[in-house]
């Protein structure tokens, strides 16, 4: 089992907040530090001091950490053209010594596109499929050979397909609960399928959809890593959990909904055992308060040693 810290910096965080989180996660032996890729807090949040760009942030973290894996969960295809994205990710992978993972998705938050003047087309899933083909195609093209693509919104002519990442294959993460098209993209392009934030009864059907997609694609489903992301509020007692919940504008009752990961070592270990029984191999602990680095230290020091590896 692998355990990652997953953050939402658009809700309000500086680069230094994220660096402190990433270093704490690395200190305690978490597998990875991942962040969302958004430019707007949404709702009633002010998002102060303002958004940070995901790949600029990860480039900085690549030079200021040494072991922890770094990535997005997930970058929307609407934010970047596929050619420059392949260059950005490959460069950050080089800067990190081969520790980068790319989560890529269709994008969903229309308001942030409107706010920052980013086009928000209706057929974004077609863009996702094309970007997955282009980014992976650029990376796997042998040095010295050109890469071309002509389809839909994108046309690449004799691209030099450089730079190459440090890793032979940067892990690609695709997620979502769609019954057909998402699993098909995972089977064709991804190394990891993230089930998102499902209730327990939704997990088995989503995995079954993936297995069916792998069968259609002629791929062994055992080659796809299964992961789950879940809001996490950890603490040794309900008073601590309630205090942490209040900082993200939730009550103890709201976070103890039977779906979130909540509580101390024993309670969290019970939840992880449920996920493990489905064959899930990686858990993303979504932590929403980036000013509470003690949350990472508690998870790392008091909870992580009790979880299966």
**Mean per-residue pLDDT, 164-181:** 95
**Mean per-residue pLDDT, 163-174:** 97
Q: Which residue has the tokens 């949404």?
A: 42
**Mean per-residue pLDDT, 52-63:** 98
**Mean per-residue pLDDT, 116-128:** 95
124-140 and 181-189 helices cross at what angle (nearest 10)? 10
How many C-beta atoms surround the C-beta of residue 100 within 10 A? 28
Whether residue 45 has pLDDT greater than 90 = no
Per-residue CA distances from 62 to 59, 90, 95, 100, 188 (Å): 5, 12, 6, 8, 28
Whether residue 56 has pLDDT greater than 90 = yes
Whether residue 166 has pLDDT greater than 90 = yes
Whether residue 152 has pLDDT greater than 90 = no
Its pTM stands at: 0.97
Q: What is the structure's pLDDT at 97?
A: 98
Whether residue 42 has pLDDT greater than 90 = no
Q: Cα(151)–Cα(265) distance, rounded to whole angstroms?
A: 50
Whether residue 142 has pLDDT greater than 90 = yes
Are 180 and 208 in contact by the 8 Å Cβ rule? The answer is no
**Mean per-residue pLDDT, 97-113:** 97
Q: How many helices and strands in the chain, by DSSP H and E?
A: 11, 12
Longest dimension (CA), the chain: 61
Per-residue CA distances from 40 to 111, 113, 181, 266 (Å): 8, 9, 28, 36
Q: What is the structure's pLDDT at 43?
A: 81
Q: Cα(291)–Cα(223) distance, rounded to whole angstroms?
A: 37
């Amino acid at each position: 089992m692998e355990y990652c810290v997953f953050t939402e910096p658009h809700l309000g965080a500086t680069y230094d907040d994220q660096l402190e989180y990433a270093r704490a996660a690395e200190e305690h032996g978490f597998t990875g530090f991942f962040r969302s890729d958004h430019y707007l807090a949404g709702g009633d949040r002010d998002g102060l001091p303002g958004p940070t760009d995901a790949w600029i942030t990860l480039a900085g973290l690549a030079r200021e950490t040494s072991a922890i894996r770094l990535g997005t969960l997930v970058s929307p295809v609407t934010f970047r053209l596929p050619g420059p994205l392949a260059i950005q990710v490959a460069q950050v992978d080089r800067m990190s010594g081969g520790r980068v993972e790319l989560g890529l998705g269709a994008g969903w938050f229309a308001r942030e596109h409107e706010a920052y003047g980013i086009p928000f087309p209706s057929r974004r899933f077609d863009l996702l499929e094309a970007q997955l083909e282009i980014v992976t195609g650029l990376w796997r093209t042998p040095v010295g050979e050109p890469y071309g693509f002509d389809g839909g919104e994108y046309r690449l002519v004799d691209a030099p397909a450089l730079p190459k990442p440090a890793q032979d294959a940067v892990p690609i993460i695709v997620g979502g609960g769609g019954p057909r098209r998402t699993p098909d993209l995972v089977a064709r392009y991804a190394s990891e399928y993230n089930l998102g934030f499902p209730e327990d009864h939704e997990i088995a059907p989503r995995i079954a959809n993936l297995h069916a997609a792998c069968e259609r694609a002629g791929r062994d489903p055992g080659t796809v890593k299964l992961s789950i992301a879940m809001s996490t509020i950890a603490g040794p007692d309900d008073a601590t959990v309630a205090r942490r919940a209040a900082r993200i504008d939730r009550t103890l009752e709201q976070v103890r909904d039977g779906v979130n990961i909540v509580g101390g070592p024993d309670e969290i270990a019970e939840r992880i055992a449920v996920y493990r029984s489905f064959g899930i191999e990686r858990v993303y602990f979504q932590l929403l308060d980036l000013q509470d680095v003690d949350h990472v230290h508690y998870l790392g020091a008091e909870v992580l040693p009790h979880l299966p590896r």
